[in-house]
Chain A
Amino acid sequence: MLNNEKRTQNSIGKRLFKLILIVSFCLTLLFTFIQAWMDYHSKMESISHSMEQIERIHVEMIKTSLWSADKEQLRPIVEGMLNFPYVNYAGIIDQDNIVINAGVKRNGEIHQEIKLAYDYNGKNIILGTLIIQADKSKILSEVFKNITIMFLFQAGTIFIAAFMVFLLFERLVTRHLVAAAAHLTSRNIDSIDASLHLHKRNRHDEIDILLEAYNDMIEKLIKIYRDQEETLQELHQSEERFRVLVESIPQKIFAKDKASVYLSCNKLFAEEMGINPREIVGKDDFMLFPVELAEKYRADDQRIMAADQTETIEETYLLKGEERWARTTKTPLKSANNEIYGILGIYDDITEQKRKEQEKVVLQAQLSQSQKMEAVGRLAGGVAHDFNNMLSIIIGHAELAMDKFPPEDPMVGDLHEIVKAGKRSAELTRQLLAFARKQTIVPKILDLNDTIESMLKMLRRLISEDIVLFWKPASNLWPVKMDPTQLDQLLANLVINARDAIKDGGRVTIETDNRGFEEPYREGNTGLFPGEYVVLTVSDNGSGMDKETLENIFEPFFTTKELGKGTGLGLATVYGIVKQNDGFINVTSEPGQGSTFTIYIPRCRSTEVESGKRTVPAVIPTGSETVLLVEDEKCLLELGKTMLERLGYTVLITGSPDEAIRLAKTRGSEIHLLLTDVVMPGMNGRELANQLRTIHPRLKSLFMSGYSADVIAHHGVLDEDVHFIQKPFSRQGLAVKVRDVLDQA
């Protein structure tokens, strides 16, 4: 044990020794000074006493001697006075004359004068003055000497006594304390099991009492420590279970105090923050998030704690520069006595969920649009078939009627108006079908520059004179595959739309360009797939559109134009055409800043560009071949027969496919062309043609329909080697198409 003893430089014994020395020294100094003061005063009193004694004993004798002028007698008396303590001078003066004196007179010493009066003859005669002087410096010197000796003696005594106290204290107290300290130092809390024993006899002194108390305390501590250790172990296990539980939860968990300082968090939370969980503890939101976000979090925390309610918040936040969605459930943390001391937060990254929800919304919008188109398509298709049949009858009969009157007859003009109205009605149907992507088209590989070039004249006619049409074709433009009639529809609608947006003069610009995307690309609200596109841009510097208008411009029947000036189908038709051609359309516009429609049509890899220009023969072609006309609508059947017969053809007619088959079987060799409606009850036109071709493989077919409903087309695109004429058609259109089919090899 002794080897382990550690002695401190600042031991109690030394301090006690120093304290005793200092206190004793001060007291000694004080008492010495008191003693010196008393000694000094005692000596001063002894001087007074000597003076009194001299006065009492010698004055009368001096008077007598002086009276008798006996200097011989005076001298020993005066000299004898020097024997009194501290008297250094004695003398008698008479009227400033020294009668006799002894010793050395000095200034500043204690001085007493005694008048020597003598009664003589009834008179009091002053014989002289006895002067006695005491040596003050001698007193001081003696006092100093005395106190020096006394002080040294007492100081020595005190030092020895203090040293003895120090040694005794060291022996009786300090060494035991040091041994006890060494004992305690050599043990840690795990090995605190040994009792403390000191090398001393048990005298039941304070050390022994302390020793007993310490050993008792150690026993109690061991018990408490072991209990605590068990409790701590249980607590650790509980904490570990809790930690595992918290860490296993696939959500971010955190706890904050009332001041929004983080108390703890799980690994997932820390990982998302990008720092160690321990580093988060002690930080607040302002250290981890941008100020605005931190302020919001703090406000949320305070509100939830104040309301003492659990709240779930969905919000966005920035993580490594990326906007993320989180759903956070915050609940107040409460102590055992139900006091709120912080807040517990559990949150989950719902970015993916949100993205899916957004996609769902988009998909739902798309579905809705698709359903809308489907409905419109069904409606248009349903209507188109019968409506176009009716229009065919109206237009056909009007044309036939015109033949009955000379051109100058006013009836011809009326009939022209009927034909025009019929065609405009047919156009309406066409637009509806176009929007619903149900339009039967015949795509061709086109060079847009050439096609648009040929359309410019027609387009310029659509706009007023105060509007300038700019045409900016790109060089080396890639080809596209598209029905030229649809391009007509598309450009006409866009230019008309631009025209209507320009009030007092302006410009409309049509541009083309090539553009390729390697990554999915988002422009405005349009998402483009990677690929190469030919871009057709139609822009104007008109009034532009607000956001709300922009969101609805492709809706069918949505219009900002005055009543009667627009059908609300123009841009819907454009949208439908673009989509039917696997393209994309983007619109940018701001009120007062004009609008720009950008249409992306996929590039066609084929290099054989077909001409998009259409030529109308100056003379209506005729023929003498036999045509089998099949049409379930009786009026139309009769009209067709009349029109074909007037063109020179021999016409066999029937209202049902079965009758047509029978006719083909009986008079098959006479028939050159099958002109059939597509949608008919019992059998559609395509099936009929197929069956007749089994009878007469060289029989040519021409389908006519107001709406073919994919019988002869796939998604509106007419099948290969299928000839088709859209109802309603004019006599000339029919003549050209019939002749064209018959002339093909």
Chain B
Amino acid sequence: MKRFIFCLLFLGFFNCTGICGETLVLSTDDVYPRSTPEGTGFEDLIVKEAFQRIGISIKIVSLPAERGVINVNQGIDDGLFVKIAGVEERYPNLIMVPEKICDYDFAAFTKNPSIQINGWESLKPYHVAYLRGWKMYETNIKAARSIITVKDDDALIELLTHGRVDIIAYELLEMKVRVKKMKLTGIIALQPLLAKKDMFCYLHRKHANLLPGLVQSLKDMKADGTHQRIMTNVMEKLE
């Protein structure tokens, strides 16, 4: 009996040590305040906390959106965040952690206060621009007077500030931070939002065993206020 108990303890030790010693690599294409290179964005902190609660440390790397998905799908990276639900349909090696990390507000910005919008169809009379690779916009903005896709945020903002487009489509929080950071004036976010989506973390299929723990951790964090506290701490520090 003693010998059996010893064996169980021995195996449990080594099993715990194997998981506990592993550092998973997760990528993200989000920027401040959601993610920072230092891992101080609220999404960074929430995901780290969630993994930490199941005893796994993670390393967060910043990758372009598509690259992040591809890397996980190919098993290069272990996971990514944050993506809307349904990404696994195109990338079969991805599994979604079915507890949202945060929301994404898909908004339209303009310098013309007279523009009124009400959903995707209402963009039709305008010259619209958005970032290349954003699946939400690529999927939904089909009809417009003209559609311009650009490579980066700066180009997008420049299109609008120079009056070359009527509307640019972007995530509400991030654009507000950039406008503020760039001290731009006259740029307003149109209401209502074009869409609001829950955003999730994805893991490679090999880590499917971690899903229940992570879901539970996230729920626990929401339940014990850790999730909200992290959000508040980061938002309060917004410049």
Query: Residues on A close to B: CB < 8 A?
Result: 67-70, 72-73, 120-121, 123, 125
Contacts and interface: CB of A to CB of B under 8 A. Distances in A.
Interface in B55-73: 61, 63-67, 69-71
A69 B133 contact: yes
B181 interface: no
A715 B79 CA distance: 184
Given A120-B76, A121-B61, A125-B76, A70 B25 contact: no
Interface of B: 25, 61, 63-67, 69-71, 76-77, 132-133, 149, 151
Contacts of A67: 63-64, 67
Given A120-B76, A121-B25, A125-B76, A72 B64 contact: no
A70 B64 contact: yes
B64 A68 contact: yes
Contacts, number: 32
Contacts of B65: 69
A69 B76 contact: no
Contacts of B133: 69-70
A68 B66 CA distance: 6
B142 to A, nearest CB: 18
12 contacts: A67-B64, A68-B63, A68-B64, A69-B64, A69-B65, A69-B67, A69-B69, A69-B70, A69-B133, A70-B133, A70-B151, A121-B76
Contacts of A121: 25, 61, 76-77
Nearest to B64: A68
Nearest to A95: B74
A73 B151 contact: yes
B76 to A, nearest CB: 6
Nearest to A69: B66
A68 B64 CA distance: 5
Nearest to A65: B64
A71 to B, nearest CB: 8
A72 B151 contact: yes
A100 to B, nearest CB: 13
Main secondary structure of the interface of A (DSSP, over half): mixed
Contacts of A125: 71, 76
Contacts of A69: 64-67, 69-70, 133
Contact of B67 (A68, A72, A73): A68
A123 B76 contact: yes
A414 B16 CA distance: 204
Contacts of A70: 64, 66, 132-133, 151
Contacts of B25: 121
A123 B77 CA distance: 11
A76 to B, nearest CB: 12
A84 B64 CA distance: 30
Give the 6 A-B residue pairs with the shortest CB-CB distance, closest first.
A69-B66, A68-B64, A72-B132, A69-B67, A67-B67, A68-B67
Contacts of B67: 67-69
Contacts of A120: 71, 76
Contacts of B71: 120, 125
Given A121-B25, A121-B61, A125-B76, A72 B70 contact: no
Given A69-B69, A73-B151, 7 more contacts: A68-B66, A68-B67, A69-B133, A72-B149, A72-B151, A120-B76, A121-B25
A73 B66 CA distance: 13
A61 to B, nearest CB: 13
B152 to A, nearest CB: 10
A69 B77 CA distance: 15
A401 to B, nearest CB: 195
Nearest to B61: A121
B87 to A, nearest CB: 13
A499 to B, nearest CB: 162
A73 B132 CA distance: 10
A69 B63 CA distance: 10
A70 B71 CA distance: 14
A121 B24 CA distance: 12
Nearest to B68: A69
A70 B70 CA distance: 12
B165 to A, nearest CB: 17
A70 B67 CA distance: 9
A68 B68 CA distance: 8
A560 B231 CA distance: 188
A73 B133 CA distance: 11
Nearest to A68: B64
A350 B61 CA distance: 148
A395 to B, nearest CB: 187
A67 B74 CA distance: 13
B37 to A, nearest CB: 14
Contacts of A68: 63-64, 66-67
A123 B71 CA distance: 12
Interface centre among B61, B66, B69 (most CB of A within 10 A): B66
A97 to B, nearest CB: 11
